Amino acid sequence: MTIPHPNPDELAHIQPREKAEILAQALPYIRKYHGKTMVIKYGGNAMTDPALQQDFAEDVVLLKLVGINPVVVHGGGPQIEMLLQRLGKKGEFIQGMRVTDAETMEVVEWVLGGQVQQDIVGMINAAGGKAVGLTGRDGAMIRACKLRLTDQKDPSKEHDVGQVGDVVSIDPSAVRALQDDAFIPVVSPIGFGENNESYNINADVVAAKLATVLQAEKLLMLTNIRGVLDKNGELLTELTPRAIDALIEDGTISGGMIPKISGALDAAKSGVTAVHILDGRVPHALLLEVLGNQPFGTMIRSH
């Protein structure tokens, strides 16, 4: 992952007065969110496009510098898939969940807790931040159990997806300690069970649960789409629980979007002030949402 250095000349065409106005418009939001925690699920194109990687890193560092506490939770599906293919192993999914046998779990741990996490830590540090990587094992953070995946069409049937985990509890003390010391936590979604076994947990679920226990002001989920779209491809700027149920029922929300939306809704119901699904393909998507006044992406409401 190569991170190019920021180029100050890119903004040379903007007049000083305009720059000042832009900064002034951000001031109310900086004041509003100062000292608040924001959990960011980092995934999709924003993780694989070098220019978007740099934008993301700069956004996270800027949020930290103006007194907001970002916590990054990352996925790594494409990277896991790439390594599995190199090993001659075909990935299998059931209802958006990766089937994870013992061999696949080793790959998941290496890719998420090693390669991907350290790439993200490195690029945030290169942008001027101080990031620290954690997995769910660090500080006994994410206790997990085997996920029982009920069939969507036949509730009496369960799918065995191997070492895929469900969150039992999250102890956020390690994350809080890092935040208090001006670090930016980067969390890999790997949990541990009562017999010290490892579990691969959906990153959207971990982000939502972590946002809940941290009493985050916002949960921001970066995706490869503009937000949640209706049957006609139009952006839905707000979603309620009833609307979400209807969209899952008619197949508009399906596959990997189901855990993302379900986790977002749980977080909204559990006290996270605002949950947003954002288009991670948009440069500086985080800053547009946090420090701007235009509706951006889809907001999930608790009622």
Distances (CA, A) of 226 to 42, 76, 238, 296: 15, 20, 13, 8
Q: Helix 257-269 crosses helix 203-213 at what angle (to 10 degrees)?
A: 10
77 is in an annotated binding site: yes
114 is in an annotated binding site: no
Residue 205 CB burial class (10 angstroms; 0-12, 13-18, ≥19): buried
Residue 228 and residue 239 in contact, taking contact as beta carbons nearer than 8 Å: yes
200 is in an annotated binding site: yes
Place of tokens 């209802």: 95
- What is d(CA 145, CA 131) in angstroms, rounded to the nearest whole number? 28
Place of tokens 């579990």: 199
3-class secondary structure, 41: strand
Three-class HEC string of 89-140: CCCCEECCEECECHHHHHHHHHHHHHHHHHHHHHHHHHCCCCEEEEECCHHH
Sign of CA dihedral 167, 172, 178, 182: positive
H/E stretch holding 239: strand 238-239
Q: What is the dihedral of CA 181, 23, 238, 72, to 10 degrees?
A: -20
What the block records as the tokens of 110 is 């290496």
224 is in an annotated binding site: no
- What is d(CA 102, CA 32) in angstroms, rounded to the nearest whole number? 46
Which residues are annotated as part of the binding site for substrate?
76-77, 98, 200
Which residues are annotated as part of the binding site?
76-77, 98, 200
